Amino acid sequence: MTGQPGDHLRTPPFAWDLLQDKILVHTRTSSGTRGDIVRTGQIHDGLTLCGADAVQTARECHNQCPGQWLQLVDPAAYEDHATPEEPFRPDRVRLTGQASLFEDDEDKGVGGDVRSILDTQLRSGTTAGLTPTRYIKAGKRDIVTAVVDFASRLEAEQTILTVPLDHGWLRNDDDIDFLVEELDQLPHIKAITLGAVYNPLGLKGTATGLRRLISGLERVALIRTDLAGLDAYAHGALFASIGMQTALRHVRTPGAVPSKKRKPRAVTTTVLHPQLLDYFNADTLRELYREGDGPACHCTECQGRPLLRFDHNRADQAAANRHNLATWLPWAKELQRAAPGRPRRAAWHEICWDAVQAHQELSEHRSSPGDPEPPRWLKEWVGEPN
Q: Is 301 left (phi over 0), alpha (psi -120 to 50) or beta?
A: alpha
Q: Find the part of the chain contacting Zn ion (CB under 5 A) among 32-40, 83-91, 119-127, 318-326.
A: 318-326
- One-letter identity of residue 91: D
- Give kind and range of the element (H or E) at residue 221: strand 220-225
Q: What are phi and psi of 90, to 5 degrees?
A: -65, 160
- Sign of the alpha-carbon dihedral angle for 25, 232, 211, 179: positive
From candidates 276, 282, 297, 355, binder to Zn ion by CB under 5 A: 297
Q: Find the part of the chain contacting Zn ion (CB under 5 A) among 50-58, 142-150, 199-207, 293-301.
A: 293-301
Residue pair 158/151 in contact (Cβ under 8 Å)? The answer is no
Residue pair 161/190 in contact (Cβ under 8 Å)? The answer is yes
271 lines the binding site for Zn ion (CB under 5 A): no
282 lines the binding site for Zn ion (CB under 5 A): no
273 lines the binding site for Zn ion (CB under 5 A): no
Q: Return d(Cα 344, Cα 175) in angstroms, integer.
A: 27
| Rg value, the chain, Cα | 21
167 lines the binding site for Zn ion (CB under 5 A): no
CB of 301 to Zn ion, least distance (A): 5
Q: Find the part of the chain contacting Zn ion (CB under 5 A) among 72-80, 164-172, 224-232, 317-325.
A: 317-325
276 lines the binding site for Zn ion (CB under 5 A): no
Q: Return d(Cα 143, Cα 146) in angstroms, integer.
A: 5
Nearer to Zn ion, 38 or 299 (CB): 299
CB of 338 to Zn ion, least distance (A): 23
Residues binding Zn ion: number (CB under 5 A):
5
Q: Return d(Cα 176, Cα 255) in angstroms, integer.
A: 25
Helix axes of 110-123 and 141-151: crossing angle, nearest 10 degrees: 60
Q: Find the part of the chain contacting Zn ion (CB under 5 A) among 167-175, 210-218, 235-243, 292-300.
A: 292-300
Site for Zn ion in 3-22 (CB under 5 A): none
Question: Using CB under 5 A as the criterion, what x/- string covers residues 320-359 for binding Zn ion?
Answer: ---x------------------------------------
299 lines the binding site for Zn ion (CB under 5 A): yes
From candidates 19, 50, 237, 302, binder to Zn ion by CB under 5 A: 302
Q: Find the part of the chain contacting Zn ion (CB under 5 A) among 123-131, 139-147, 261-269, 295-303.
A: 295-303
- Give kind and range of the element (H or E) at residue 319: helix 314-337
Question: Whats the size of the chain, residue-wise?
Answer: 386
Residue pair 132/89 in contact (Cβ under 8 Å)? The answer is yes
CB of 302 to Zn ion, least distance (A): 3
* Binding-site ranges for Zn ion (CB under 5 A): 297, 299, 301-302, 323
